Amino acid sequence: MGIVKISDDLHDDLREASRVMARSINAQAEFWIRVGMLAELNPQLSYQELCRKLLKNKSTTLQDLLNELDPSENPG
Protein backbone atom coordinates (compact mmCIF):
# COMPACT_ATOMS: atom_id res chain seq x y z
CA MET A 1 0.00 0.00 0.00
CA GLY A 2 1.26 3.45 -0.81
CA ILE A 3 0.45 7.01 0.00
CA VAL A 4 -1.05 9.28 -2.63
CA LYS A 5 -1.00 13.03 -2.08
CA ILE A 6 -4.08 14.85 -3.31
CA SER A 7 -5.31 18.42 -3.02
CA ASP A 8 -7.34 19.49 -0.01
CA ASP A 9 -10.28 20.26 -2.31
CA LEU A 10 -10.28 16.74 -3.78
CA HIS A 11 -10.00 15.28 -0.27
CA ASP A 12 -13.05 17.30 0.76
CA ASP A 13 -14.90 15.96 -2.30
CA LEU A 14 -13.87 12.43 -1.34
CA ARG A 15 -15.05 12.94 2.24
CA GLU A 16 -18.46 14.18 1.09
CA ALA A 17 -18.89 11.44 -1.54
CA SER A 18 -17.84 8.75 0.93
CA ARG A 19 -20.39 10.01 3.45
CA VAL A 20 -23.19 9.99 0.87
CA MET A 21 -22.18 6.61 -0.58
CA ALA A 22 -21.57 5.02 2.87
CA ARG A 23 -17.96 4.16 2.01
CA SER A 24 -14.72 4.96 3.76
CA ILE A 25 -12.70 7.77 2.22
CA ASN A 26 -10.16 5.21 0.98
CA ALA A 27 -12.89 2.99 -0.50
CA GLN A 28 -14.40 5.99 -2.30
CA ALA A 29 -11.00 6.99 -3.70
CA GLU A 30 -10.37 3.43 -4.86
CA PHE A 31 -13.80 3.31 -6.52
CA TRP A 32 -13.15 6.57 -8.39
CA ILE A 33 -9.72 5.34 -9.47
CA ARG A 34 -11.10 2.04 -10.75
CA VAL A 35 -13.96 3.71 -12.63
CA GLY A 36 -11.61 6.32 -14.08
CA MET A 37 -9.06 3.77 -15.28
CA LEU A 38 -11.74 1.54 -16.78
CA ALA A 39 -13.39 4.55 -18.46
CA GLU A 40 -10.12 5.74 -19.99
CA LEU A 41 -9.34 2.30 -21.34
CA ASN A 42 -12.92 1.52 -22.43
CA PRO A 43 -14.48 4.78 -23.68
CA GLN A 44 -17.21 2.83 -25.46
CA LEU A 45 -18.75 1.78 -22.12
CA SER A 46 -21.14 3.99 -20.18
CA TYR A 47 -20.71 4.77 -16.51
CA GLN A 48 -23.56 2.39 -15.73
CA GLU A 49 -21.87 -0.43 -17.68
CA LEU A 50 -18.60 0.18 -15.85
CA CYS A 51 -20.36 0.15 -12.48
CA ARG A 52 -22.15 -3.09 -13.36
CA LYS A 53 -18.76 -4.67 -14.12
CA LEU A 54 -17.36 -3.44 -10.80
CA LEU A 55 -20.39 -4.65 -8.84
CA LYS A 56 -20.36 -8.02 -10.57
CA ASN A 57 -16.67 -8.55 -9.82
CA LYS A 58 -16.14 -6.88 -6.43
CA SER A 59 -13.12 -8.94 -5.46
CA THR A 60 -11.55 -9.00 -8.92
CA THR A 61 -8.32 -7.12 -9.55
CA LEU A 62 -8.33 -4.23 -11.98
CA GLN A 63 -6.21 -6.24 -14.41
CA ASP A 64 -8.78 -9.08 -14.33
CA LEU A 65 -11.56 -6.59 -15.09
CA LEU A 66 -9.59 -5.13 -17.98
CA ASN A 67 -8.98 -8.59 -19.41
CA GLU A 68 -12.66 -9.45 -19.09
CA LEU A 69 -13.74 -6.27 -20.87
CA ASP A 70 -11.39 -6.76 -23.82
CA PRO A 71 -8.91 -9.65 -23.55
CA SER A 72 -7.31 -8.88 -26.92
CA GLU A 73 -6.33 -5.34 -25.92
CA ASN A 74 -5.23 -6.06 -22.34
CA PRO A 75 -2.67 -8.86 -22.30
CA GLY A 76 -1.17 -9.91 -19.06
Q: Encode pLDDT of 9-53 as tens digits.
A: 999 999 999 999 999 999 899 889 888 988 998 899 999 998 888
Looking at the domain assignment, is residue 2 inside a domain? no
Looking at the domain assignment, is residue 1 inside a domain? no
Rounded Cα distance between 25 and 14, Å, is 6
CA triplet 35, 40, 44: central angle to 5 degrees?
Answer: 95
Rounded Cα distance between 46 and 39, Å, is 8
Looking at the domain assignment, is residue 3 inside a domain? no
- Residue 24 is part of which domain span? 8-69
| Residue, of 19 and 56, whose pLDDT is higher | 19
Q: Encode pLDDT of 65-75 as tens digits.
A: 777 766 565 44
Q: Residue 72 phi/psi, 5° resolution?
A: -70, -25
